[in-house]
Structure 1
Amino acid sequence: MNKLVITLLLAIAPMFSQSQNFEKYEDMKDVDAMVMTSKMFKMLAKVDLSENDPEAREYMKLIENLDRIQIYKSSNSNIMSQMATDVKSYLQKGSLEELMRVNDNGQNIKFYSLPGKNDNYVRELFMYLEGTEGDKPMSVILSITGEIDLSQLSKLTSDLKVPGAEELKKANKKS
């Protein structure tokens, strides 16, 4: 029994350590960070909206099933290099599947997901962007976890003004 518990703990330990890799960016000086938790989503889901607006109802359904959104953005070359290393490590250790790659107008964007309950849902959507904003280099890490309805996700990323949201919207139309 003890061997089973130890084996399980060792198997899931990388999952916990991976999420920690990105949280370190929250307090760095040259990083724009936004982290929203499930408590925030539950609070937002309770906002009284018009029952006659089906789009608003779908949006609320999407956000109440989210666990966490993390967005980290930096133009500092040292931090960008660190982000690239952490993303590479995260992708090598995790079980994320590549969804798509876009190289457009100086921006290299990669999307990954962790499969969900069926083909329309994922448990994690992960995006990494390397590129420029204006004439400044930038890197962006986005991780959304929970029960994510892919048909509604592009609306959320657009509303959050996440770089790469347009590419996600285009990919969603293709599927």
Structure 2
Amino acid sequence: MRKIVILVFLMALPLVTFGQGIFEKYADSEDVAYVSIKPRMFKMLATMGLDADDPDSKEFLKMVNSITSFKTIATSNAKIAAEIERWVGKRSNDLEELMVVREGNTRMKFYVKSGSSDTKVKELLMCITGIQDKVKISETDINTVVVSLTGDIDLNQISKLTSQMDIPGGEHLKNAKKKN
């Protein structure tokens, strides 16, 4: 009986590690810059220095309050970058490609999961590869960045957030529209 339990465990182990999210896998890695922001932090940030009577501030606050998860990882490690790209490739099977941007060697891919309207999405996944000497985190060059946002996300407002957080590729979301 004990041998059967061990055998089943060993057979299931690859499925458990395969299902593990890329963010969780590299959260503690020295080769990865990792950020995970919870909804409460967004709410705290959103209320700092905002004019409650300003219509833009109200829209921004509404958008920030609709975010349930924000995660990003960035690396220059070629092995990890390749694994991130494979993960994004598999993850994109469940998402709709919103757009692809190529600037020189840099590739930016944006994927979404449909939301409650044409301008809203439940999930936004951005993958940026081939960054060369453009972005530094703590004096370290990075060449691959993945950003995941979940919630009830308005694409018309998200470019403002990515610009304020200085996330590479966010400026391309200004004109993004979901494909019908």
TM-score tier (shorter):
0.7 to 0.9
Gaps of 5+ in 2: 1-14, 135-140
Work out whether 1:132 is the aligned partner of 2:131. Answer: yes
Work out whether 1:161 is the aligned partner of 2:169. Answer: no
Which position in structure 2 is the counterpart of 1:141?
A: 146
Please state which structure has a larger fraction of its residues in helix.
1
Instruction: Give TM-score, length-normalised by structure 1.
Output: 0.79
Which position in structure 2 is the counterpart of 1:118?
A: 117
Gaps of 5+ in 1: 1-13
Which position in structure 1 is the counterpart of 2:81?
A: 80
The amino acid that maps onto 2:148 is S
Q: How many residues matched?
A: 155
Q: 1:132 to 1:54 in 2, by over 3 A?
A: same
C-alpha contact 1:97 1:112 (8 A) present in aligned 2: yes
Q: 1:18 to 1:84 in 2, by over 3 A?
A: same
| Cα shift at 1:18 | 5.6
Displaced runs of 4+ in structure 1, greater than 4 A?
Answer: 45-48
Question: Whose radius of gyration is greater, 1 or 2?
Answer: 2
CA RMSD of aligned residues (A): 2.2
C-alpha contact 1:22 1:86 (8 A) present in aligned 2: no
Distance, in Å, in 2 between the alignment partners of 1:102 and 1:43 is 33
Distance, in Å, in 2 between the alignment partners of 1:97 and 1:166 is 20
Distance, in Å, in 1 between the alignment partners of 2:99 and 2:84 is 19
Which position in structure 1 is the counterpart of 2:60?
A: 59
**% identical aligned pairs:** 37
